[in-house]
Structure 1
Amino acid sequence: MPIIILFCLTLLTLALGLVFLRLFRGPGLPDRVVALELFATITVGIIGLLAIATDIALLLDAAIVMALMSFMATIGFARFVERGGPRDD
């Protein structure tokens, strides 16, 4: 089992590097927001794998909090785009 966890952590780390590349080279704001959402999702996966590997249940709570915060940030960005950008209401 540790070999599989190590392999998965390696793949997730590689994916994280590719997401950073998209984050810095993204042509527009929506591309960067999608990259941040994917970054948060991969981070939740890494935390989940570390929780399995170390058998610490508290890490799962941290993963859930991270996923919820990422979801709320995505909702906030969607509302921002829906309203057409910054306005003085």
Structure 2
Amino acid sequence: MIPLKEEIDVRAIAPHERHAQLFDRFDGLLPGEAFVIVNDHNPVPLRRQLEGRSPGEVQWTCLQDGPALWRVQIGKQEACADAGGDCCSGGACGGG
């Protein structure tokens, strides 16, 4: 089980500050750590932005999938630097 640092109710954060605060929280995680966010809509744009900023590092687990409330666990995993974010480098998983 991934150690959780905290649960963040993003509904209490001003909309224009939400993603920046969550990026800071993600950046502060060590590999293997995670936090949970609570939101009133599906946070797909946040996921895309996090994965764009930190390819291969984001673990995204939907714990509650609406319709009124979403809870998502966001964790950090070790990035595969030698694979350009693709952990199947060298054919280790049969992908290449």
Instruction: Name the TM-score class by shorter chain.
Output: under 0.3
Larger-gyration structure (1/2): 1
Of Structure 1 and Structure 2, which has the larger fraction of its residues in strand? 2
Greater RCO, 1 or 2 (C-alpha within 8 Å, sep 6+)? 2
Of Structure 1 and Structure 2, which has the larger fraction of its residues in helix? 1
Question: Normalising by the residue count of structure 2, what TM-score does the alignment of the two structures yield?
Answer: 0.25
